Amino acid sequence: MHAATQRVMDRVSKLDANQPEYIQAVTSFLSSIDKLVEDMPQILYHKVLDRMVEPERVIMFRIPWFDDDGMIQLNRGFRVQMNSALGPYKGGLRFHPSVNLSILKFLAFEQTFKNSLTGLSLGGGKGGSDFDPKGKSDGEIMRFCQSFMLELGRHIGEDTDVPAGDIGVGGREIGYMYGQYKRIHNKSVGILTGKSPSFGGSFIRPEATGYGLAYLSAAILEAKGKSLENKSCLISGSGNVAQFTTEKLLAMGSKVLTMSDSSGVIIDPSGIDAQKLAYIKTLKNVRRGRIAEYAQKYKEATYIPHDGSATSNPLWDVKADYAFPCATQNEINANDARNLTANKIQLVGEGANMPTTLEAKDILMEAGVLLAPGKASNAGGVAVSGLEMVQNSQRLQWTPAQVDAQLLTIMKNIYANISSTAEKYSTKNNFIDGANIAGFLKISEAMIGQGYV
Ligand code: NDP
Ligand code: 2IT
């Protein structure tokens, strides 16, 4: 590493020593950007990298709420406002017991470059809480969301910071938080995206991350003379991103062999078809049950318990053409990467944020696997969030077909951008470098143009 890049890395490693996910995200980013600094002295002169790795602002607060037994419960809330060089902070809210500052800083950091790649005017941020929605009643979820928004509401705004969903936050939670914001501030404005289309949400926003992942993967494959048609695919997760990735892959003629949740994995050699996917949607979104039930209903499927503690995930050891991690960070480790390459996987399209460890990435890249990094391949969700902001400003609602067509165009543009940037500054097909560098260049220019802020 160039000495100046190393100095930035050392500073983060020292100051944020207890933030492993953040250090991981910064390490991956800086190893791409290192290829630029020799020829772009202005990056070093303006201390762009030093400023970029320091969030503009971090807000932390307590969230008291009453459970159904009338007992007071307490959680911790966060909003990381990472970078506003390109526009209002934008990024999801995650409700999961694992949430801490390291995880939210890594997510806000990734989000900043992802949002740059969309071509829209969006800064980067992320927030959430260590609240665990599992097993909570509707009333408990509502009271928690209302208490969360009571504080978060002071720090966001349609031109300041516009959160959305992420793990544990879907349409239901966004609706409760939106209602509470409107009640407190007496304003009907687009301060959240992912709303229901009945009160200002964009059509296709729920579908957008998964559809976008399929569109970007199709673009990568097309350039290699390949396609998704008649190909077998591994998908992890069974939440928002996994469901709509499956839906679009089926529409494009793929066969989906696997899905999972935080308790285990289902492997269905006969394929998860549209009818089975509809069952999964009801199971996970309405009944909020466990994926294990799938194997009780569909006897041709096998269920393997896997809570992440084993040294490898059986899902990544199923033979297939393409793999789409759509659950959470670091879900593909070095052992999983070795299993994937031994089974001759050709493409890994990241639906989740940072699902692949640094070591696993190296193994996949060395084996020549086409790796579509999350900040490019899952950008469809935030892209349609950006389009929801535009519709809210116009106080208009576009048709599903209009939004889907724009999503497709944005994902094709992202592919063109990351592939040409990889060829120019790194090596052909290194989409990790392509995405980091392309996302960075736009933000860097904006930061230099706006002076030292
Ligand atoms: P959901 O909450 O809808 O679904 C998450 C899925 O991942 C569930 O199946 C869940 O299992 C599983 N999961 C969550 N945490 C873990 C864990 N620690 N170990 C194993 N499995 C886990 O979230 P999304 O689908 O929205 O998000 C999935 C990924 O996609 C995340 O990385 C998110 O940051 C990323 N992403 C999401 C976007 C969006 O628009 N929603 C946009 C871009 C990226 P269980 O049901 O047991 O909880
Ligand atoms: O990781 C992500 O891009 C998201 N969770 C979606 C962010 C958004 O603002 O739509």
Task: Answer for the pair 126, 166: CB distance below 8 angstroms, yes or no.
Answer: yes
Cα 338 to ligand 2 centroid, rounded to whole Å? 30
CA atoms within 13 A on the CB side of 425: 26
Confidence of residue 378 (pLDDT cuts 50, 70, 90): very high
381 ligand 2 Cβ < 6 A: yes
Nearest alpha carbon, ligand 1 atom 39: 166
Domain assignment of residue 48, yes or no:
yes
Q: How far apart are CA 139 and CA 324, in angstroms?
A: 34
Q: Which atom of ligand 1 is nearest the CA belonging to 385?
A: 40
Confidence of residue 397 (pLDDT cuts 50, 70, 90): very high
Last residue of a domain, one of 188, 221, 242: 188
Q: How far apart are CA 378 and CA 382, in angstroms?
A: 8
Task: Answer for the pair 407, 378: CB distance below 8 angstroms, yes or no.
Answer: no
- Burial state string for 331-344 with b = 16 or more CB within 10 A and e = fewer than 16: bbbbbbbbbbbeee
**Surface-to-core class of residue 282, CB atoms within 10 Å of its CB (0-12 exposed, 13-18 middle, 19+ buried):** exposed
Q: Are residues 63 and 126 in the same domain?
A: yes
Task: Provide the phi-psi class of 301: left if phi over 0, else alpha when psi is between -120 and 50, else beta.
Answer: beta
Q: How far apart are CA 230 and CA 227, in angstroms?
A: 8
Q: Are residues 146 and 30 in the same domain?
A: yes
Task: For residue range 159-205, list pLDDT tens digits in order.
Answer: 999 999 999 999 999 999 999 999 999 999 999 999 999 999 999 99
pLDDT confidence of residue 107: 99
Please measure the distance between the N-terminal and C-terminal CA atoms of the chain and give it in whole angstroms: 27
Task: For residue range 5-23, list pLDDT tens digits in order.
Answer: 999 999 999 999 999 999 9
pLDDT confidence of residue 310: 93
pLDDT confidence of residue 142: 98
Q: Which of 245, 262, 288, 336 to mutate to test the pocket of ligand 1 (most atoms within 8 A of CB)?
A: 262
Cα 162 to ligand 2 centroid, rounded to whole Å? 10
Cα 425 to ligand 2 centroid, rounded to whole Å? 27
Whole-number CA gyration radius for the chain: 21
Q: Are residues 63 and 109 in the same domain?
A: yes
Domain assignment of residue 236, yes or no:
yes
Task: Answer for the pair 77, 106: CB distance below 8 angstroms, yes or no.
Answer: no
Ligand nearest to the CA of 309: 1
Q: Are residues 230 and 182 in the same domain?
A: no
Task: For residue range 401-451, list pLDDT tens digits in order.
Answer: 999 999 999 999 999 999 999 999 999 999 999 999 999 999 999 999 999
The answer for residues whose C-beta is within 8 angstroms of residue 254's C-beta and 6 or more apart is 228, 229, 230, 231, 232, 233, 322
pLDDT confidence of residue 169: 98
Q: Which atom of ligand 2 is nearest the CA belonging to 107?
A: 1
Task: For residue range 317-364, list pLDDT tens digits in order.
Answer: 999 999 999 999 999 999 999 999 999 999 999 999 999 999 999 999
Q: Is the pTM of this model over 0.95?
A: yes
pLDDT confidence of residue 270: 98
- Burial state string for 19-37 with b = 16 or more CB within 10 A and e = fewer than 16: bebbbbbbebbbbbbbbbb
Domain assignment of residue 225, yes or no:
yes
Q: What is the DSSP string of 181-193?
A: HHHHH-----SSS
Domain assignment of residue 445, yes or no:
no
**Which H or E run includes 96?**
none
Give the CATH number of the domain where residue 10 resides. 3.40.50.10860
Ligand nearest to the CA of 161: 2
Q: How far apart are CA 392 and CA 200, in angstroms?
A: 6
pLDDT confidence of residue 421: 98
Q: Are residues 17 and 108 in the same domain?
A: yes
Domain span at residue 323 reads: 208-372
Task: For residue range 125-154, list pLDDT tens digits in order.
Answer: 999 999 999 999 999 999 999 999 999 999
Q: Are residues 100 and 138 in the same domain?
A: yes
pLDDT confidence of residue 129: 99
Q: Which atom of ligand 1 is nearest the CA belonging to 355?
A: 32
Cα 350 to ligand 1 centroid, rounded to whole Å? 12
Q: What is the DSSP string of 132-177?
A: --TT--HHHHHHHHHHHHHHHTTT-BTTTEEEE-BTTB-HHHHHHH
Q: How far apart are CA 33 and CA 425, in angstroms?
A: 9
Cα 328 to ligand 1 centroid, rounded to whole Å? 5
Task: Answer for the pair 350, 377: CB distance below 8 angstroms, yes or no.
Answer: yes
Last residue of a domain, one of 324, 342, 372: 372
Domain assignment of residue 53, yes or no:
yes
Domain assignment of residue 239, yes or no:
yes
Nearest alpha carbon, ligand 1 atom 2: 167
Task: For residue range 50-102, list pLDDT tens digits in order.
Answer: 999 999 999 999 999 999 999 999 999 999 999 999 999 999 999 999 999 99
User: Which residues participate in catalysis according to the annotation?
Assistant: 126
202 ligand 2 Cβ < 6 A: no
Task: For residue range 265-324, list pLDDT tens digits in order.
Answer: 999 999 999 999 999 999 999 999 999 999 999 999 999 999 988 999 999 999 999 999
Domain assignment of residue 431, yes or no:
no
pLDDT confidence of residue 45: 95
Q: How far apart are CA 209 and CA 191, in angstroms?
A: 20
DSSP conformation class of 326: -
Q: Are residues 215 and 179 in the same domain?
A: no
Q: How far apart are CA 105 and CA 54, in angstroms?
A: 9
Q: Are residues 292 and 352 in the same domain?
A: yes
The answer for residues whose C-beta is within 8 angstroms of residue 342's C-beta and 6 or more apart is none
- Taking Cα atoms as reference points, which of 437, 444, 446 lies closest to residue 29? 437
What is the number of structural domains in the chain?
A: 2
Q: Are residues 123 and 215 in the same domain?
A: no
Task: Answer for the pair 277, 258: CB distance below 8 angstroms, yes or no.
Answer: no
Q: How far apart are CA 389 and CA 249, in angstroms?
A: 27
Q: Are residues 148 and 294 in the same domain?
A: no
Q: Are residues 222 and 184 in the same domain?
A: no
**Which residues, judged by CB distance below 6 Å to any ligand atom, belong to the binding site of ligand 1?**
96, 98, 165-168, 170, 209, 237-242, 261-263, 308, 326-328, 351-353, 378, 381
Last residue of a domain, one of 372, 393, 416: 372
Give the CATH number of the domain where residue 288 resides. 3.40.50.720
Q: Are residues 116 and 176 in the same domain?
A: yes
